[in-house]
Structure 1
Amino acid sequence: MLQTLKTYFGYEQFRPLQEEIIQRIIDKKDALVLMPTGGGKSICYQLPALLLEGTAVIVSPLISLMKDQVESLRSNGIEAAALNSSNDETENANIRRACVDGKLKLLYISPERLLAEIDYLLRDMHISLFAIDEAHCISQWGHDFRPEYTQMGVLHQQFPKIPIIALTATADKITREDIIRQLHMDDPQIFISSFDRPNISLTVRRGHQAKEKNKSIGEFVRRHAGESGIIYCMSRNKTEAVAQMLQKQGIQCGVYHAGLSAQQRNETQDDFINDRIQIVCATIAFGMGIDKSNVRWVIHYNMPKSMESFYQEIGRAGRDGLPSDTILFYSLGDLILLTNFAKESGQQSSNLEKLQRMQQYAEADICRRRILLSYFGEISTKDCGNCDVCKNPPSRFDGTVIVQKALSAIVRTEQQIGTRALIDILRGSYSAEITGKGYQELKTFGVGRDIPPRDWHDYLLQMLHLGYFEIAYNENNHLKITESGKDILFGKGKATLVVIHREEPVAASKGKTKKKAIPKELPLGLPGTESEELFEALRGLRTSLANQEGIPPYIVLPDKVLHLLCAALPTTIEAFGEISGIGEYKRKKYGKEFVSLIRQFV
């Protein structure tokens, strides 16, 4: 097993649980695997596929994901192919022939195509194992339910002796049980890896409105010049607007949402994977189909609807284990909209519960990673030191007067206003809604002029979280004071609020923006003293080789391997092959060019 791992994948040792999972499949027994994105799930079925006789059949939900995996395997010298509608008939005929002749080690296939082929191609093949990737799609309780996946139970009925491995990055207990039941798995062993991704920083910014968000994003992108990132938005229109905002600043940015044609979506994804664009602005549908290892950051323009969705989406960052950033913008407007969506959904109570947990995460003033891990049933005994709460522990103050001003305004309008009108009253804004209802005559009109609108948004979120008022979703989202709110309003208690910290804007440097240097805290046990010039030269060579082969640059060699090359400076092909992540095939294929370039610098 270790020899195969080194030969094809270039690693000297397994990550936690991988070896046990692989042994389980080699012993022809079923397994359900929960591993975080970037945690090494694919090795768990790719390695047994190489060790067992026959062809492994991998069920995957997206053509782009299959393409990515197949390219990656071929770049390691492994025979693999994907049978799908994007191929022409000749190509699919050749793939079928290769399967029957036993020339492929892995066949990737969509659930729909698998069902069509189950009585034909699959009967004529020697199958070693079935792997069901993104297995949460099977369960109606999963965050990305796909009806066609529910028919995968037919595999064990028709091929009872072939082991099944189901893999996912996110599945709570009820989803796990549903996956096992739907697949008719035979006494499967459940492997749950740590969900912790310590290289990913977690930051939440509350109370920003569109203008502040855009400014903040623009500044963030400038600080991360040349680094790949994804911005998730709730609506198609918002993805277009954010992309246009960035494009006006000269940033290469694409759009991905369901309103575009399949060709347009594929072009955006292809441009992103091949580093032709730096950023993708996308609705939640984007991301599952990419294995791009060097996504350095993920921004959520709007709050996601569940912790599963959030975890899956931030998991697109830092798959190579290098430091990566995530930012979640959270506002009352998002909360109201998502609550209404949940109430109108077919699974109201479940979706409201999931949203509430997401809200608790966003409003937390304790280590965010501990909350995230706890959601997935993993207890952490110490703070992470890599989230905004750990880096800037909240300081508090007596906010009783601020709370009283807001609650008083709600009462004086007979609890018939939403958050926007409340802030207009407090700020003394003569908007049409305010003057139309005569609210400018209220005693509380303008009593909060000294507090900026975005701070009011933040304080109102805190007050909601503290239970001083509720939102009546069935009454036009009007605000209603609770009993504990009345205690504060009438002086029977004190309200403690958290001091608001705003990130300081960073002035753009004049002249040409320099690409950001190598991360200074490489989780590779290496000091950040590598030559930036060499790193960029290696990136250039990688891009050139990738263009010649028509594959994404990170498939040639990931960023992590380039950093290791910068540190180790191998000047022979043998030494090049000793670098973690470089197998025999890549050593023979790329060694000469990379070693030659490194020698110039040495």
Structure 2
Amino acid sequence: MNNVLPIDISLDDIDWNEPLEEVVQNANDPATDEDLLKDIADIDWDEDIFSQNGTSPLSRISLEDCSHEFEGNYSFSTNMLEVLNRVFGLETFRPGQREIINAILSGYDCFVLMPTGGGKSLCYQLPALLSNGVTIVISPLIALVTDQVDKLNALDIRAAHLCCTLTRQQAAVVISKLYFNEPEIDLLYVTPERIMGSKQTQDALDSLYRRGKLARFVIDEGHCLSLWGHDFRPDYKKLSVLRDKYSDIQMLSFTATATKQVETDVIVNLKLRNVKKFIQSFNRPNIKYQVHEKDEDMAVHEIINLIRRKFFRKSGIVYCLTRKDCVVLSRYLRNFNISAKPYHAGLDMKVRQDTQREWMQDQFHVIVSTIAFGMGIDKPDVRFVIHNTIPKSLEGYYQESGRAGRDGEISYSYLFYNYNDIDRIMRLMASDFSKTDTLEGHWDNLQQMVAFANNRIDCRRYLQLINLGENFNRQLCIQNKETICDNCDDFINNRQNIEYKDITKQAKELAVLVRDISAQNNVTINTVTKVYRGSRQSQIVRRRFDRHRFWGRGRLMTLLDVQRVLRTLTLKNILANHYLTTGKFPLVHIKSGSNINRFLTSSTERITIPVTNNNYFLETTRLQGPNRSISNFERGPTISERATSLAMQTLRTRCHDALLRVCREYAIQRHIAVSSILHPLAIKIIITVLPQSREELLGVQHFTVATFNRIGNDILRITTDFRRQISEID
């Protein structure tokens, strides 16, 4: 990195995850390329890595998934199912929800790890309606809090929040409801800053506790508590005082992403007792993953063509590298009749809030954003997420792509990248992060993401899930034909030119190298890769790693293949990952594993990996190439789709628009999201069955009595009219 030109970039120019109680300063769009780099918005460094935090490594807590313990019926089961149907408009639970709710209503502390779209919110919202007292939900983002409260109020659930968006008078009204003999709030949402920093809020909690009206604490996005979490928040770490102060109150932690170390950190710091752990697979089976190396000159046109051909009038997110990229691309999209707007932290707060609200209300379809947008946004019908640049980490990519398809419908993730993007991010790292451990941590994350993008062999789901500590069988991806990833599709169609190579010699060399240089040093997988490939970077020379007998032995191997060998050794416990908190940035180091001596002394154990003849860095297939043309992955029309007449399709589309118009008008009047009024799945079902009565409409999934009281008669007028028109066609 020594040859990188210094760039004068301030940390203030970077879009952090949006602060909760602050307004981000406006910023002008840059005019030159160097200014573009200053204005970078995709590098979401965590401000807190610069603080001196004395966190030390925690011993690993070994907990198994407890779902099997809570599969039966309980005394509250009848009431639970009745509330599920009457209040939430659902007939059945999603996988895992019932067991979690059973454990919560049985009084246990719980740690819940459930992927985005798995239905975490219902797991604590439903118990709140069956409990005596107020459930306190601690959530990190105002946007998430207000969206959740709007949805609950639309269901006639007594929910409120105490965010800074309220006036003092509005906040006082909420607080006063907590002091009633029977509090008029079932769920109270607060930010960690509010609950830890507001005496008024703390006094209200004390009153609830003394009167036996404090039901439980729910820590949403629990990974924010851990320095190991990718969204670490200092005020989350202070939440441990809640256990000290309210020792007998139930504590729950929910998160959609956490490594093993984050799990340990959360459980220990929250002081969870007799904790029940629920772990669901992180696999998002309804998302189709595709990665393409982009041609700089053609990238915008490819995105425009993709959206127009496949996602016209569908909700989506496009992530860009810089603020200026967002503005320019959104303008291009509008020029091609795609309704789009930019979103980044350089915009005025009100502009951002209005843009987000309009997108949630389907007033436009595509939001073009830096990663300042997205966390906590619950829009279920996002059909696609496009990365027009490489994300900074694999975990970030999983989170961002996972914002598609929360309704369970088939959705798409596209990653377009090239080495110009990577180079710009590297230059920013070199200029902004002078501390070695900070720079090394971000560099390792980026290298891991680059290795993922360059990998043309392994299943995309496997590569993401193994990073989250979950083994995944690629056959599950292959069997799901509609969402098979690009690599698995190439694999089954023999487009990869794969051969299995015996790499036992290289594996033993790498095992010895790791054993030797990690004996007295903390080294990352990236450092080992550099040493094996013969790097003379200053840190390698300074630590005398270039003196090792296996330095440079793998100079003819690609970075990707070296790392694949190292990961294979880790899976076999020949090598092992060790975690260390430095006080500034958490790092994963690689050391000898329990099976290393057996492997090094064995003359019969062989290790093979699938390899390709492609040069990953220089000869990756272009977007226009036959193996990676987007059109190859598009699902053709089904028999029923082909049989549907054009007239029928037109009527269905008009019906959809009419239903959406009713919901949108109601949402705009009340400044809430369309999905808070009516779930997208309910709209799809209504278009299909065209209910003719109140009873038929209440039989639609997600359509509740509260929904009918608001818009039911308007919906019935539309469905009755369109059923008449369709019968005339038939």
TM-score range, shorter chain: 0.7 to 0.9
Structure 1 residue 172 displacement after superposition: 0.7
**Residue 332 in structure 1 maps to residue 419 in structure 2:** yes
Structure 1 residue 483 displacement after superposition: 5.3
Are the aligned partners of 2:534 and 2:555 in contact in 1 as well (CA < 8 Å)? no
**Residue 390 in structure 1 maps to residue 488 in structure 2:** yes
Structure 1 residue 366 displacement after superposition: 2.6
Partner residue in 2 for 1:301: 388
| Distance in 2 separating the partners of 1:219 and 1:72 | 35
- Select which of 178, 196, 205 maps to 1:122: 205
Q: Secondary structure at the match of 1:237?
A: helix
Partner residue in 2 for 1:525: none
Structure 1 residue 296 displacement after superposition: 1.3
- What do residues 313-342 of structure 1 show as CA deviations (whole Å, max 9, x unaligned)? 112111111121111122223344445666
Alignment of 1:11-410 (within 5 A): 11-101=90-180, 102-115=183-196, 116-117=198-199, 119-125=202-208, 126-206=213-293, 208-223=294-309, 224-338=311-425, 344=433, 346-364=437-455, 365-381=457-473, 382-384=475-477, 385=481, 386=483, 387-393=485-491, 395-396=495-496
Are the aligned partners of 2:243 and 2:271 in contact in 1 as well (CA < 8 Å)? yes
- What do residues 447-491 of structure 1 show as CA deviations (whole Å, max 9, x unaligned)? xxxxxxxxxxxxxxxxxx99997887769xxxxx96555599xxx
Are the aligned partners of 1:369 and 1:383 in contact in 2 as well (CA < 8 Å)? no
| Distance in 1 separating the partners of 2:639 and 2:472 | 22
Classify 1:215/1:15 alpha carbon distance in 2 versus 1 (closer, same or farther; 3 Å): same
Query: Which shifted more, 81-90 or 542-551?
Result: 542-551
| Distance in 1 separating the partners of 2:612 and 2:91 | 56
Are the aligned partners of 2:313 and 2:338 in contact in 1 as well (CA < 8 Å)? no
**Residue 533 in structure 1 maps to residue 638 in structure 2:** no
Partner residue in 2 for 1:425: none
**What TM-score do you get using the length of structure 1 for normalisation?**
0.78
Structure 1 residue 266 displacement after superposition: 1.3
- What do residues 540-595 of structure 1 show as CA deviations (whole Å, max 9, x unaligned)? 33223323443222221122111111222221111111111122322343332222
Partner residue in 2 for 1:570: 691
Structure 1 residue 188 displacement after superposition: 1.7
- Paired AA for residue 220 in structure 1: L
| Distance in 2 separating the partners of 1:174 and 1:350 | 16
Query: Which shifted more, 310-319 or 582-591?
Result: 582-591
| Distance in 2 separating the partners of 1:195 and 1:315 | 10
Structure 1 residue 264 displacement after superposition: 2.3
Are the aligned partners of 2:533 and 2:556 in contact in 1 as well (CA < 8 Å)? no
Are the aligned partners of 1:340 and 1:473 in contact in 2 as well (CA < 8 Å)? no
Classify 1:396/1:369 alpha carbon distance in 2 versus 1 (closer, same or farther; 3 Å): closer
Structure 1 residue 390 displacement after superposition: 2.8
Classify 1:396/1:83 alpha carbon distance in 2 versus 1 (closer, same or farther; 3 Å): closer
| Distance in 1 separating the partners of 2:692 and 2:534 | 66
Classify 1:575/1:485 alpha carbon distance in 2 versus 1 (closer, same or farther; 3 Å): same
Structure 1 residue 134 displacement after superposition: 1.2
Are the aligned partners of 1:299 and 1:328 in contact in 2 as well (CA < 8 Å)? yes
Are the aligned partners of 2:496 and 2:612 in contact in 1 as well (CA < 8 Å)? no
- What do residues 32-87 of structure 1 show as CA deviations (whole Å, max 9, x unaligned)? 11111111000111011111011111111111111100010011110111111111
- Paired AA for residue 146 in structure 1: R
Q: Secondary structure at the match of 2:469?
A: coil
Are the aligned partners of 1:321 and 1:560 in contact in 2 as well (CA < 8 Å)? no
Classify 1:501/1:114 alpha carbon distance in 2 versus 1 (closer, same or farther; 3 Å): same
Partner residue in 1 for 2:600: none
Unaligned runs of 5+ residues in structure 1 are 399-464, 476-480, 489-493, 506-516, 523-527
Query: Which shifted more, 336-345 or 349-358?
Result: 336-345
Partner residue in 2 for 1:497: 614
Classify 1:540/1:503 alpha carbon distance in 2 versus 1 (closer, same or farther; 3 Å): farther
- What do residues 367-403 of structure 1 show as CA deviations (whole Å, max 9, x unaligned)? 21222233323333314242222334463569xxxxx
Q: Secondary structure at the match of 2:623?
A: coil
Are the aligned partners of 1:233 and 1:281 in contact in 2 as well (CA < 8 Å)? yes
**What TM-score do you get using the length of structure 2 for normalisation?**
0.65
Are the aligned partners of 2:225 and 2:237 in contact in 1 as well (CA < 8 Å)? yes
Are the aligned partners of 1:131 and 1:165 in contact in 2 as well (CA < 8 Å)? yes
| Distance in 2 separating the partners of 1:473 and 1:95 | 59
Q: Secondary structure at the match of 2:202?
A: coil
Partner residue in 2 for 1:478: none
- Paired AA for residue 401 in structure 2: I
| Distance in 1 separating the partners of 2:557 and 2:141 | 54
- Paired AA for residue 369 in structure 1: R
- Paired AA for residue 34 in structure 1: L
| Distance in 1 separating the partners of 2:274 and 2:451 | 36
Are the aligned partners of 2:490 and 2:496 in contact in 1 as well (CA < 8 Å)? no
- What do residues 159-203 of structure 1 show as CA deviations (whole Å, max 9, x unaligned)? 111111111111111111111122222232221112122211111
| Distance in 1 separating the partners of 2:157 and 2:438 | 43
Are the aligned partners of 1:256 and 1:283 in contact in 2 as well (CA < 8 Å)? yes
Are the aligned partners of 2:90 and 2:701 in contact in 1 as well (CA < 8 Å)? yes
Structure 1 residue 503 displacement after superposition: 4.3
Structure 1 residue 355 displacement after superposition: 3.3
Q: Secondary structure at the match of 1:11?
A: coil
Structure 1 residue 311 displacement after superposition: 1.3
- What do residues 297-324 of structure 1 show as CA deviations (whole Å, max 9, x unaligned)? 1111221122221111112111111121
Partner residue in 2 for 1:403: none
Are the aligned partners of 1:518 and 1:532 in contact in 2 as well (CA < 8 Å)? no
| Distance in 2 separating the partners of 1:171 and 1:188 | 17
Q: Secondary structure at the match of 2:720?
A: helix
Query: Which shifted more, 244-253 or 12-21?
Result: 244-253
Alignment of 1:421-440 (within 5 A): none
| Distance in 2 separating the partners of 1:589 and 1:111 | 34
Structure 1 residue 128 displacement after superposition: 0.9
| Distance in 2 separating the partners of 1:23 and 1:359 | 42
Q: Secondary structure at the match of 2:284?
A: coil
Q: Secondary structure at the match of 1:210?
A: coil
**Residue 551 in structure 1 maps to residue 672 in structure 2:** yes
| Distance in 2 separating the partners of 1:351 and 1:33 | 28
Q: Secondary structure at the match of 1:595?
A: helix
Are the aligned partners of 1:45 and 1:131 in contact in 2 as well (CA < 8 Å)? yes
| Distance in 1 separating the partners of 2:224 and 2:215 | 23
